[in-house]
Amino acid sequence: MSQAATRQTDDLKIAPSTTSSENDFDFLVGSWTVRNRMLTERLSNCSEWNEFDSTLDMHKVLLGSGNFETYRAERDGKPFEGMAVRLFDPNTRLWSIHWADSNAAKLDDFPVVGSFEGSVGKFFANDTLNGKEIVTLYQWDKTDPEHPVWSQAFSADGGVTWEWNWYMTLTRKETITI
C-alpha cells in the first residue's frame, strides 16, 4: 500500500492500494439476487445464523466517480430497504461507503473507507455497537464477478481479532432479450 496518500479516521490509518481506481466497483453494476447469512447477535459469542434472500441494484453516478446501490429484503416478516453511496476520492484514491436503511432513515455516522487490492476490497471504520467502540470491516471479493461476495466483520479489540457476522453471496440476474 502506498504511504503517500492516507486518510486518518481516528486511530485508523488507511492507505490505498497501488491499483485503486474509480473502476473498482464496475463489477457490481446491474441487478442481483442475494443470499444472506447473518449472525442473530453480534459480538456476543453467538453461533446462530439467520438466512434470507434479498435483491440489490447498483448503477454508477457522478460521471463514474461514484455509485448508488439499493438493497431490498424482508426480515422478520417486515420489508427492509437499504442504500449504499460509494464515492471515490481521486486525491487519496480511497473509496468511502456510506450506508442508510429503513430502520434509521439516516446515513451512518461512520462511513467505511478503503480500496481494492486485486480482487479483494477492504473498507474500515471506527464505530460503536451497544455503546462499545468497535472497528467495522466491509470486504468485497470479486474473484468470481458473476458471484461476488460481500462480508462484514466487527472487532472489539482494535482489529486484533474479527467476528465475521454477515455474508452476502450475489448472483447476477439474467437479462432477457426479446
CATH code at position 146? 2.40.128.20
Of 12-16, 53-57, 58-62, 94-98, the least confident: 12-16
Structural domain contains residue 51: yes
Half-sphere CA count of 68, side-chain side, radius 13 A: 3
DSSP 62: G
Mean pLDDT (the chain, rounded): 90
Structural domain contains residue 48: yes
Which amino acid, 2? S
Structural domain contains residue 178: no
Q: How many CB atoms lie within 10 A of CB 97?
A: 21
Digit-coded pLDDT (tens) for 155-171: 999 999 999 999 999 99
> 111 is in which domain, residue-wise?
27-172
Structural domain contains residue 20: no
Distance CA 147, CA 122 (A): 18
Structural domain contains residue 58: yes
Compute the residue count for the chain: 178
Digit-coded pLDDT (tens) for 21-66: 999 999 999 999 999 999 999 998 889 999 999 999 999 999 999 9
Please give the tally of structural domains in the chain: 1
Residue bearing the bigger pLDDT, 128 or 86: 86
Structural domain contains residue 17: no
Distance CA 88, CA 90 (A): 6
Structural domain contains residue 18: no
Distance CA 14, CA 1 (A): 9
**What percentage of residues in the chain have a pLDDT greater than 70?**
91
Structural domain contains residue 2: no
